[in-house]
Every structure is written in structure tokens, then in C-alpha cells.
Amino acid sequence: YENTLVHSAHASYRLPSVVALNKMVPLPDYAALSRNNIYLRDGYTCQYTGIKYPANELTLDHIIPRSKGGKSTWTNLVTCSKNVNFKKADKTLKESGYKLIRKPYVPTSWELRELGRKHPSVLLHESWENYVFYNAKLDEDT
């Protein structure tokens, strides 16, 4: 990251690896519905087989398919392996014979924050190591 440049119309700036905030930024009361947040909620685990996968081998599945009126909501989307999603296609659970290992739910923003901190991809650069704390007790003189 330290050699990455950000360009404006008239100048180029080195991308900082650490940004310090002047004040605490409160978490929103809601959890944003996103692919990554659903993967975090479901532990990067296919909700039909219970097998954990890397993100590039996962997709999202609509439990009630969109073709049958299903919406993109926290309670209708689950993490699914690409292979299982291909087999399930636009079938309902009853039609496909698949069963969910856990009922989907709406996580809190706090829960997603904690899940994200525990996930290995959160430390994107070694220079962040001194700034990301994983529930570790800080030294008295820190």
C-alpha cells in the first residue's frame, strides 16, 4: 500500500496505510445488507452443506428465489457454495430437497464488527498490526 498513489485532477498523493480519527465514529444502529456481511454472519460457510469456503468459492442464495417473489433481505439470503447454488437454481427448499443448517437472521452492527475483527482478512496490511486490537488486554503503560 505504501507505494499506491491516489490521483486528483491536479496532484497525486501517497495512500496512507493508517488513518487516525479525531473522535469516535459511532456504529449505526442497523447492519448494512451486503455480500460480505452475509458471509460474515454465516461464517463463510455454505448454509446447506455446513462446509466452510474462501469467499471466491461462495455466492448468495435466495431461499425463496427471486423468480418466485423472493426479496433480497437478511432473512431470505444465505451464504452458499457456487456448486450447491447452481444445483438449487430457482427452486424452493422443498423443490430442491435442500435444508438450511441455520435459519438466517438480521445481525446487529456490533455482532458484524466483532465477526469482522475475528476474520483473518481484516488485517489487510502488516502496518495496521499496532492499530487493530482483537479483544487483547493492553499493557498498563500503553
pLDDT digits (tens, 9 = 90+) for 27-66: 677 888 999 899 999 999 999 999 999 999 999 999 999 9
| More confident site: 62 or 15 | 62
Cα–Cα dist 90/100, whole Å: 16
* Position 142 pLDDT exceeds 50: no
pLDDT in the model for residue 131: 56
Least confident residue range of 64-68, 81-85, 110-114, 134-138:
134-138
Q: What is the mean pLDDT of residues 15-34?
A: 78
77 in Cβ contact with 62 (< 8 Å) = yes
Provide CB contacts within 8 A for 3, sequence distance 6+: 14
Q: What pLDDT is stored for residue 140 in this prediction?
A: 44
Query: pTM here?
Result: 0.70
14 forms beta bridges with: 5
Supply the pLDDT for residue 102. 96
